[in-house]
């Protein structure tokens, strides 16, 4: 299943909604990690994804989205 883009960010970042969840994933832009939580909720918290499919930092939106898709697919297999 593929995450849905919900909000582009200034500087090239993106926020995606996770299928079947209230959680979202945020990538702040080049060189950033993927953060999971509630980034668009006032007072919401996020934490970095520490899973082999999506850990590390990503220089492009394409790379971040590919890692996020791998993370979602890994989670759906568990």
The pLDDT tens digits for 50-69 are 999 999 999 999 999 999 99
Count up the domains in the chain and report the number. 1
Locate the DSSP E strands across the chain. 4-8, 14-17, 24-27, 32-37, 46-48, 57-58
pTM for the model stands at 0.90
Measured distance CA(77)–CA(43) in Å, rounded: 31
| pLDDT at 64 (0 to 100) | 97
Residue 11 has pLDDT above 90, yes or no: no
Residue 30 has pLDDT above 60, yes or no: yes
For residue 55, the enclosing domain spans: 4-77
């Amino acid at each position: 299943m593929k995450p849905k883009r919900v909000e582009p960010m200034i500087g090239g970042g993106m926020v995606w909604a996770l299928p079947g969840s209230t959680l979202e994933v945020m990538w702040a832009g080049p060189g950033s990690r993927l953060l999971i939580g509630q980034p668009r909720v006032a007072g919401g918290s996020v934490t970095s994804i520490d899973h082999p499919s999506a850990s590390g930092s990503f220089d492009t939106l394409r790379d971040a989205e590919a890692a996020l898709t791998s993370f979602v697919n890994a989670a759906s297999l568990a």
